Chains A and B, each alone.
Chain A
Amino acid sequence: MTGLILGLPSFMTPGRLWLIVVPLALLGLYIFLSKRKSRRGIRYTNTSILDIIVPAQSQWLRHVTVGLALVSLVCLAFAWARPLGTDQVPRERATVVLILDISNSMGATDLSPSRLAVAQQEVVNLVDSLPDGYNLALVEMAGSSTLVLPPTTDREIFQRAVQGVELEPSTDVAAALRVALSALELVPAGEDDQPVPAAVVMFSDASGTTGSTSPKQVAGQLAELGVPLYPIVFGTDYGYVDLTNADGQVERYQVPPDHQFFAELAQITGGQAYGADDAAQAQEACAKIQSTVGHVEVEKEVTAQWAGLAAVFAAVAAVGAVMLGARWR
């Protein structure tokens, strides 16, 4: 039905669209005949009385019936031209690299129980909802990012790996993305030597505090491979962490999420960034990512939709014709 809302669909045989001429010509004929003055009708002398006794009948039923019949014809013409629509088909094979931020800022408790706990929960949920054939890799993102788990289809190992992470100081987004790139290289090519479709999902809260290269540069490399990045940005503007420094003193750091930065990164790769102020929003973001990563859009013939639409219009037009044609009493 997207074709109806967003405009005309593309057609497999656009040459057959000339059939639209028929309803258009009929519409023109109808308007011409309606406007014509010398229509046949009966002459009647006593119309001054008739005028006040029988008020002017509204013509909407007549017009609506004709209009629907013509719209039905247009839909049929479209159906004959075999329109193409898009369909969501579940992907069979794909690689998803999950980058989990384990910097200290993820320990902030503005999300209950903590940002990291929520992120872990969502990673597990997302992993559960993805098809079994997907290769999943896990990358820990901190001062030094490591590939915890190379691409694997084993969900149990994956879940254990997610549960086992611990907080570490500082963040280097660029390094984490590079590790993700290397993880993608580990995946064998598909059946016909085409690279298997991939995506990177990042669970993070703030832009990098360390690192020499720009994360945007690495994001550019991702874009070249056609791998979209979907960051889920955790935390509220009022999040903080209390850290003990080398002197044994506790210092409080403000750790607001950096939505702008992640949105730019996602845009470079053709992905989309989601904000998660609480667990519910995180869940929602995961569901959206699951539907985009888990499905592929396929062009499909939607002739039946248009034929059905034509049938509905024709049915309503037929009701109007019956009401016009029948004598009620």
Chain B
Amino acid sequence: MAQVQYAPPAARPAAVQSVLAPPEGPTLPLSQLAPEAALRRLELAIVRRLEGFLQGDHLGLLPGPGSDLNDARIYVPGQDDVRRMDWAVTARTTVPHVRDTVADRELEVWALLDVTPSMNWGTGGVTKRDLGIAAIATIGFLSQQMGDRFGGLVMRPSGLRHIPARAGRTALYALLRSMLTEPIVPDETAGVMDLPQGIDQMARTQRRRGLRLVVSDFLTPGDIELDPQAEPVWERPLRRLAVRNQVICVETLDRHEVDFPDVGDILIRDPETDFERYVNTSDDDARLRMNAAAAAQRERIRVALRRAGCAHIQLRTDRDWVQDIARFVLAYRRVAGALHRPPRGHSQ
């Protein structure tokens, strides 16, 4: 395969406009979401057992026709195929045995994309929402195997929109385009749907085991807790989701969310709540305290995700997400088995 040169996308002023007003459209074209060719060499480690009928690369949960050998059991005349006889075991035990196979399974990936107004923000070239779509694209191309299906859930304040799971790269492109062209949610939209509900609904409606992506900034409006021991509202739904699925959480982050900007005395509004206040951002003390609090907030998110048994990718709008995800995937191969060990009493 030819070596594909990949350069990070140039900074686009369109995203910076999101500081003043909600963006009018995607800040990233479909073609720049992920370098598909460069990602072919990477492979996402899937450690949890899956369900499905197609030939695949992944471990299955139920016995069935397949190529992967499972346990040997006593031959039942008339029911078992003699071609499946395990002669070695039969010779050892003097009782006829057959070798079972495990059904080959395909992977089903569902991605939950948070498009609430706080995601329509970014100072580093892309908005957090488009960074999340780029992350879905990158992970989607990584997990593209024969028969693997990729579905999407778009979490708007008014409710979840399903993009059905389909196999193949054309279907993945369709899904990404659909996510990119999803209408921008206006500021201060009142709605019933929030992240915990979105996760719960994904766990309820998508019953097939598989890989789940949760893309959000994991910020809860009005949550002022900084103690890592305190559970965020979305932790329990995530833990429920992780019982049956392998969950990867993509936390999208902007540089100025952890490094409070110095822009003088300015009116600051929240895109989701009615918060509106003049803040003297030139106050060094306040900025330092703000940065410390934001760091503690991110640490709390990290700890909560780890507690829930989810893998955690932190992406920043001012960094190259492909590089970050590639680094994650390489390290993930070693830690995924331990990380996604299911709770006691549940199968792998």
Q: Which residues of A contact B (CB under 8 A)?
A: 39-54, 56-57, 59, 62, 324, 327-329
B273-281, B304-312, B331-339 - the one binding chain A: B273-281
B33-41, B52-60, B214-222 - the one binding chain A: B214-222
Q: Are B270 and A42 in contact (CB under 8 A)?
A: no
Task: Given A43-B18, A45-B121, A59-B278, decide whether A53 and B267 contact each other with a Cβ distance below 8 A.
Answer: no
Find chain A residues with CB under 8 A from B19 CB: 42-44
Find chain A residues with CB under 8 A from B289 CB: 53
Q: Are A42 and B269 in contact (CB under 8 A)?
A: yes
> 8 Å CB contacts to A: which residues of B144-172?
none
Shortest CB–CB separation between residue A212 and chain B, in angstroms? 83
Residue B294 interfacial (CB < 8 Å): yes
Q: Are B266 and A43 in contact (CB under 8 A)?
A: no
Q: Are B224 and A41 in contact (CB under 8 A)?
A: no
Q: Are B224 and A48 in contact (CB under 8 A)?
A: yes
Q: Are A46 and B297 in contact (CB under 8 A)?
A: yes
Residue B9 interfacial (CB < 8 Å): no
Shortest CB–CB separation between residue A202 and chain B, in angstroms? 68
Pick 24 A–B contacts, CB within 8 A, sort by A. A42-B20, A42-B267, A42-B269, A43-B19, A43-B270, A43-B271, A44-B121, A45-B217, A45-B254, A47-B268, A48-B221, A48-B273, A49-B297, A50-B277, A51-B224, A52-B224, A53-B289, A53-B290, A53-B293, A54-B277, A57-B277, A57-B278, A324-B265, A329-B284
Chain A's closest residue to B276 (CB) is: A41
> 8 Å CB contacts to A: which residues of B64-115?
none
Find chain A residues with CB under 8 A from B271 CB: 43, 45
A328 to B293, CA, bound (A): 24
Residue B118 interfacial (CB < 8 Å): yes
Q: Are B221 and A43 in contact (CB under 8 A)?
A: no
Partner pick for A49 among B18, B284, B290, CB 8 A cutoff: B290
Task: Given A40-B20, A43-B187, decide whether A49 and B224 contact each other with a Cβ distance below 8 A.
Answer: yes
Task: Given A50-B279, A57-B280, A327-B264, decide whether A44 and B269 contact each other with a Cβ distance below 8 A.
Answer: yes
Q: Are A47 and B270 in contact (CB under 8 A)?
A: yes
Q: Are A46 and B278 in contact (CB under 8 A)?
A: no
Q: Are B290 and A54 in contact (CB under 8 A)?
A: yes
Q: Are B264 and A43 in contact (CB under 8 A)?
A: no
Find chain A residues with CB under 8 A from B272 CB: 45
Q: Which 10 A-B pairs have the closest CB atoms?
A: A41-B267, A47-B270, A45-B118, A47-B275, A41-B269, A53-B290, A44-B268, A49-B293, A43-B271, A54-B286
Residue B263 interfacial (CB < 8 Å): yes
Q: Are B268 and A53 in contact (CB under 8 A)?
A: no
Q: Are A53 and B286 in contact (CB under 8 A)?
A: yes
